[in-house]
Amino acid sequence: MATPNNSDSAVRLFIDGQVHAEWESYEVDSDLLIPADAWRVTLSLGDAILPAAIVPGKLFELKVGEDKVMVGRIDEVGCDVVKDGAHFDISGRDGAAVLLDCSTPIATKQLATLDEIVAMITRELGITQHEIRGASRTKEKINVEPGESAWETLTNAAEANGLWPWFEPDGTLVVGGPDYTAPPVATLILERHGRGNNVLRLSQHTSIQGRYSQMTVLGQKPGTSHESGKHGLMATETDKGVSWHRPKIVFDYEADSEAVCKTRARKLLTDSRLKGYSLIAQVQGHRIVADGRPSDGWLWKPGQRVRVICPQMGINGTYFLMARKFSGGRNSGPRTQLTLKEDKTWVLDAHPHKKNYRLGKNAAPLQVLDYSKGAGQK
């Protein structure tokens, strides 16, 4: 098994000009489907006192080796004092934390582009850098109700354009999508003979719960004096991965054309497939070992594509890295857990909102009625 250089996997926290790196244990999480990357460290200081700068709300910068992984603020500081000294538990999150915790600073209707919406949401919350990676639609009319979280408003605006938000290690808010044209950054191998293995453990989980052979979305067209128009639009998509009849029918208030119905059906079907499969790999270190590739030495990061070979599981193909967890500490070397999904399954089809609907709690996901359980049940 190829061995990474663990000296370049040291996790360091920079707080108020001071560097902290001696941990009993640490975890650093990043997941494209879970807002706010997060970290947690534990340390023992004996008779020493925790530096005064390590308090909730303090700005931090987290690095692995010399590479920046995350910037944000400390969330929590816990202290346990016993006979042998003091033990501390410290955690923090990246820039998404303030968007999750705080309400959207705007509360009036206005026409705005996606770039303008992102700027309005984030400016007052101290996020100064953002980038739109992808084509956005024309101006949208928005109406945010008091109390709606900034993250809620942001994700609805992004999804209306077929995009998704996340934070880069330097604190830049990005609204974009997966790049399925990028080559795999590495090949993970786990074979019984052991030659070339670079995976400690590989776990596969599949589930039929929430999977459907076909997804039908009903929409509403303008009514006439003879008919209401409700359920007057319909589109169906099929999942060839489900070999027996498992139909699902939903009604989407905002689907006002067959094209929108079709896009929505495809999105719901791929989301169900995404939830039904995970491949989890445990590897040594926090960096990619890929001799001869440009990615050799990079940190593992969600959004990368990875080839996996495991004959015992019948696996030989490319997967999408959805989530990554760094862990380690005094009594264990650095390890990384990679959560992989089927390639090209995470689909971000645009779901435009009608101008008289707001980009918030009543947006598309909460406007869907499930008719598979009986008419009108949510």
Residue corresponding to tokens 């975890």: 27
Q: What is the pLDDT of residue 191?
A: 93
Identify the pLDDT of residue 256. Answer: 72
Sorted by where each begins, the domain ranges of the chain are: 6-93, 98-176
Q: Which residues contact 137 (CB under 8 A, 6 or more apart)?
A: 114, 160, 161, 350, 352
What is the rounded distance in angstroms from the CA atom of residue 372 to the CA atom of residue 212?
11
- What region, left, alpha or beta, does residue 46 occupy, with left being phi > 0 and alpha being psi -120 to 50 degrees? left
CA distance 233 to 216: 10
Contacts of 360 (CB under 8 A, 6+ apart): 143, 144, 145, 148, 152, 153, 156
Burial per residue of 223-238, b for 16 or more beta-carbon CB atoms within 10 angstroms, e otherwise: eeeeeeeeeebbbebe
CB proximity list for 365: less than 8 A, separation 6 or greater: none
- State which amino acid sits at residue 286: H
Six token digits for residue 232: 């007057």
Q: How far apart are CA 166 and CA 154, in angstroms?
A: 10
Dump strand ranges (E) for 168-314. 173-176, 186-189, 201-206, 214-220, 230-238, 247-252, 277-284, 305-310
The rounded distance, in Å, linking the Cα atoms of 355 and 233 is 20
- Give the pLDDT of the chain (378 residues) as one tens digit per residue: 444 444 588 999 999 999 999 899 999 999 999 999 999 999 988 777 888 899 999 999 999 999 999 999 999 999 998 888 888 999 999 999 999 999 987 656 567 888 988 998 898 899 999 999 987 766 666 777 778 899 998 998 888 888 999 999 999 999 999 999 999 999 999 998 888 899 999 999 999 998 999 999 998 776 555 555 566 688 999 998 898 999 999 988 777 788 888 888 988 899 999 999 999 999 999 999 988 888 999 999 999 999 999 999 999 999 999 999 999 999 889 999 999 999 999 988 766 555 333 333 333 333 444 545 444 443
Asked if 120 and 150 touch (Cβ cutoff 8 Å), the reply is no
**Cα radius of gyration rounded to whole Å, the chain:** 24
Distance CA 175, CA 167 (A): 9
pTM listed for this prediction: 0.85
CA–CA–CA angle 214, 217, 218 (5° rounding) = 140
B/e letters for 323-341, b = 16+ CB within 10 Å, e = fewer, are bbbbbbbeeeebbbbbbbb
Neighbours of 308 (CB within 10 A): 23
Which CATH fold would you assign to the domain 98-176?
Phage tail protein beta-alpha-beta fold (3.55.50)
Helices 150-159 and 114-123: crossing angle, nearest 10°? 170
Q: In CATH, what number does 6-93 get?
A: 2.30.300.10
Cα-based angle 321, 325, 330 (whole degrees, multiple of 5): 150
Establish how many alpha carbons lie within 13 A of residue 352's alpha carbon, considering only the half-sphere containing its beta carbon.
17
Q: Could you check whether 6-93 and 98-176 share the same CATH topology?
A: no
Residue 172's contacts (CB-CB under 8 Å, 6 or more residues apart) are: 129, 130, 131
Amino acid at 38: A
Task: Please spell the DSSP secondary structure of 164-184, one letter per residue.
Answer: EEEE-TTS-EEEE---TTSPP
Nearest to 298 by CA among 307, 282, 311, 285: 285
First-to-last CA distance in the chain?
Answer: 51
**Chain position carrying tokens 């009903």:** 218
> CA 238, 241, 247, 248 torsion: positive or negative?
negative
Question: What are the respective helix, strand and coil percentages of the chain, to the nearest 5?
Answer: 15, 40, 45
